[in-house]
Amino acid sequence: MTEVYRLDQIEDILNQIDVVSAIEEGFVSYSQGKAVIPPVGELLFEDPPGDAHIKYGYIKDDDYYVIKIASGFYQNIDLGISPSNGVMLLFSQKTGELISILLDEGHLTNIRTAAAGAVVAKHLAPAKIEKIGVFGAGIQGQLQVKYLQSVCTCKNIKVWGVNQKELERYQQTMESEGYHVETTESAAEIADTCNLIITATPSKTPLLTKDQIRKGTHITAMGADTPEKNELDPAIIQSADIVVADSIAQCTERGEIHQSFCRNLVQKDQIIELGSVIASPSLGRSADDQITIADLTGVAVQDIQITKKVYEGLSSK
For its own copies, the binding residue among 14, 17, 101, 235 (CB under 8 A) is 101
Residue 76 touches its own copies, criterion: CB under 8 A: yes
Contact 195, 130 (CB under 8 A): yes
DSSP states of 297-313: ---HHHHHHHHHHHHHH
Tell me how many residues contact its own copies (CB under 8 A): 40
Q: How far apart are the first and last CA of the chain?
A: 17
Give the span between the Cα atoms of 246 and 220, in whole angstroms.
11
Q: Cα separation of 35 and 206, whole Å?
A: 33
Here's the x/- map for its own copies, 102-131, by CB under 8 A: it reads as: -x-x--------------------------
> 82 — phi, psi (to 5°)?
-65, 135
Could you tell me if 293 and 242 are in contact, meaning their C-beta atoms sit under 8 angstroms apart?
yes
| Closest approach of its own copies to the CB of residue 225, in Å | 17
Decide if residue 202 touches its own copies (CB under 8 A): no
Question: Applying CB under 8 A, does 80 fall inside the site for its own copies?
Answer: no
Q: What is the chain's Cα-based Rg?
A: 19
- The reply on whether position 5 binds its own copies by CB under 8 A is no
Q: Tell me if 41 contacts its own copies by CB under 8 A.
A: yes
CB-nearer residue toward its own copies: 138 or 234? 138
- Measured from the CB atom, the residue of 207 and 299 that comes closer to its own copies is 299
Give least dist CB 24 to its own copies, A. 24
Would you count residue 57 as binding its own copies (CB under 8 A)? yes
Contact between 30 and its own copies (CB under 8 A)? no
Closest to its own copies by CB, 97 vs 288, is 97
Half-sphere exposure of 212 (CA within 13 A, CB side): 19
Of 22, 28, 64, 85, which one interacts with its own copies (CB under 8 A)?
Answer: 85
Backbone φ, ψ for residue 220 (5° rounding): -105, 115
Contact segment (CB under 8 A) with its own copies among 47-55, 191-199, 218-226, 273-281 equals 47-55
Helix runs in 40-163, H state only: 76-79, 107-124, 139-148
Q: How many whole angstroms separate alpha carbon 13 and alpha carbon 239?
A: 42
Q: Strand pairing of 49-59 and 35-36?
A: antiparallel
Q: Is 54 in the site for its own copies (CB under 8 A)?
A: yes
Q: How far, in Å, CA of 181 to CA of 74, rounded?
A: 27
Q: Is 43 in the site for its own copies (CB under 8 A)?
A: yes
Residues in the chain, total: 317
Q: Is 235 in the site for its own copies (CB under 8 A)?
A: no
52 forms part of the interface with its own copies (CB under 8 A): yes
Stretch that binds its own copies, among 92-100, 205-213, 226-234, 254-262 (CB under 8 A): 92-100
Task: Quote the DSSP letter at residue 198.
Answer: E
> How many whole angstroms separate alpha carbon 266 and alpha carbon 245?
12
The correct pick among 15, 42, 153, 176 for binding its own copies (CB under 8 A) is 42
Looking at 14, 98, 152, 265, which residue binds its own copies (CB under 8 A)? 98
Packing angle between helix 300-315 and helix 7-14, nearest 10 degrees?
90
Interface with its own copies (CB under 8 A): 2, 4, 36, 38, 41-43, 45, 48, 50, 52, 54, 56-58, 65, 67, 69, 71-73, 76, 79, 81, 83-87, 89, 91, 93-98, 101, 103, 105
